[in-house]
Amino acid sequence: KTQVEQSPQSLVVRQGENCVLQCNYSVTPDNHLRWFKQDTGKGLVSLTVLVDQKDKTSNGRYSATLDKDAKHSTLHITATLLDDTATYICVVGDRGSALGRLHFGAGTQLIVIP
Amino acid sequence: DMKVTQMPRYLIKRMGENVLLECGQDMSHETMYWYRQDPGLGLQLIYISYDVDSNSEGDIPKGYRVSRKKREHFSLILDSAKTNQTSVYFCASSLLGTGGSISNERLFFGHGTKLSVL
């Protein structure tokens, strides 16, 4: 059974617009949550990691939130660029290091159009 | 420049043939992983390696084996490939952060190997 659900499956936005990607999970324990960006035909690149019960991070135009009570995370991308076109993957770790099991979502495919 | 390198990038094999996927990292990371990625699914862990000759099964090890004789090199082997092993295979390595903080831990992925078994 899928333990990490991402929505929407795909999203099209115009360059310059903001967007929000959602991640809901049922993984227990939920030690930390990561967001990755995967360009087509490439490997995953880490964007951010969230650890606290209610956490917020910011990395340039990317910001993320985590609410462990709700088992929910969001990734916000502001002022999107064409290069933001990619698949964004939510990953929940059940232990305090990558040596623990990582649970991957299927990803949200973001397409940014001119 | 820290990176994980996978070879080959693309591979076509016939059912029953043996397959060797290679992965290298230049960061002296102890822990390395093999995942497969299928459409509509999240990455699934095949094997994890904690160091040379210290390997453990992941979630879907059946039909696969691994070899790690040097810290910087981790191989995935398919003996007698099957059509349902057609997938994109990713290798990754990880470095624990200072003080063991998960916030400082970094995961590095290779570009993937697209394997087609006909």
Position B27 scores a pLDDT of 84
Position B30 scores a pLDDT of 87
Report the side by side order of strands in the sheet with B65-70.
Answer: B4-7, B19-25, B73-78, B65-70
Position A44 scores a pLDDT of 93
B47 in Cβ contact with B55 (< 8 Å): yes
Position A81 scores a pLDDT of 97
Q: Please give the residue of chain A at the shortest CA–CA distance from B39.
A: A106
E strand or H helix at A48: strand A44-50
Position A98 scores a pLDDT of 60
* CB environment B8-22: b (16+ within 10 A), e (fewer): eeebebeeeeebebb
Within 8 A of A86 by CB-CB distance, chain B residues are none
Q: How far is CA B81 from CA A1, A21, B16, B39, B67, in A?
A: 26, 37, 5, 19, 17
Compute how many other C-beta atoms are within 10 angstroms of the C-beta atom of residue A56: 12
Position B28 scores a pLDDT of 85
**For the range B98-102, what are the long-range contacts, defined as Cβ-Cβ under 8 Å and sequence gap of 24 or more?**
B100/A96, B100/A97, B102/A31, B102/A32, B102/A49, B102/A51, B102/A93, B102/A96, B102/A97
Report whether pLDDT(A112) > 90: yes
Mean pLDDT of A59-84: 97
Residue to substitute from A46, A88, A97, interface B, most B β-carbons within 10 A: A97
With an 8 Å Cβ cutoff, the interface of chain B facing chain A consists of 4, 31, 35, 40-45, 48, 50, 90, 92, 94, 96, 100, 102-103, 105-112
Low-confidence residues in chain B, pLDDT < 50: none
In angstroms, the CA B103 to CA B19 distance is 36
Question: In the predicted model, what is the mean pLDDT of chain B?
Answer: 91
Q: Which among B42, B105, B112 has the least Cβ separation from residue A98?
A: B105
Q: Please give the residue of chain B at the shortest CA–CA distance from A37.
A: B109
Give pLDDT tens digits for A8-64.
999 999 999 999 999 999 999 999 999 999 999 899 999 999 999 999 999 999 999
DSSP H helical segments within chain B, as ranges?
A: none
Report whether pLDDT(A91) > 70: yes
